[in-house]
Amino acid sequence: MARTIFVTGTDTGVGKTVFAASLVYFFRKQGLNAFAMKPFCSGSHDDILVLQSVQPRALSAEEVNPFYFHAPVAPLVALRRARRNIPLKEVLAKIRHVQRRCDVLVIEGSGGLMVPLGEGYAVADLIRALKCEVAIVSRNKLGTINHTLLTVDAVKRLKPKKLSVVLMERGTGDASTATNFGILRELVSPFPVVAYPFLGRRRMGLQVFRGSAKILKKVLATYSK
């Protein structure tokens, strides 16, 4: 079965898609057959388009995102509105189908750990069932220390194969921006903290990652191991 890295976040909109896509780009440049999935997606299709841009023609849109909801709400809310349920075993079956076809699978979660996906399970339960590596994405801004440490503590209880924190630069800063990386690296140790650079305000896709290849190679070296 493929090496599997689950990308979760301290919140929604923290940069999970950018990081997940850059990981797939990085692995594919190394000659590995790497795929990306986002099992649950609500609202815009933009995240799926970004993931598809770094794995052209590798997976169908339905394989990348088997469960899509038009309303930008938690999957469980959307399912209840539609009077449906998606059991955890069905989600795992969709993931296993892709896992068997690649060397590395990067899975982007929905929002944070406690987002409810279906009746009786949340993102954290999916991670626990997969028994995979976990990368926690957080924003480099005021408040990230608390949010990140809470998420790290929760992920540790899931007993992941590996755990890392990815601190995303935003292009703007505040009084905490210069010190967040250092203090998180100290407090999260022995787990690595990766400083992910701001790649600009262009629409993310293959061209952006290709243009930032040298930077990403250095930044993502932690994940070669």
Tokens representing residue 91 in the block: 């989600």
- The DSSP result for 164-213, as a single string, is EEEEE--S---TTHHHHHHHHHHHHTTS-EEEEPP--SSPPSHHHHHHTH
133-139 and 163-168 strand pairing = parallel
Q: Which of 38, 94, 156, 162 is catalytic?
A: 38
| 89 annotated active-site | no
Round to whole Å and give the CA distance between 225 and 221: 8
- The DSSP result for 143-169, as a single string, is THHHHHHHHHHHHHTT--S-EEEEEE-
Question: So which residues are the catalytic ones?
Answer: 38
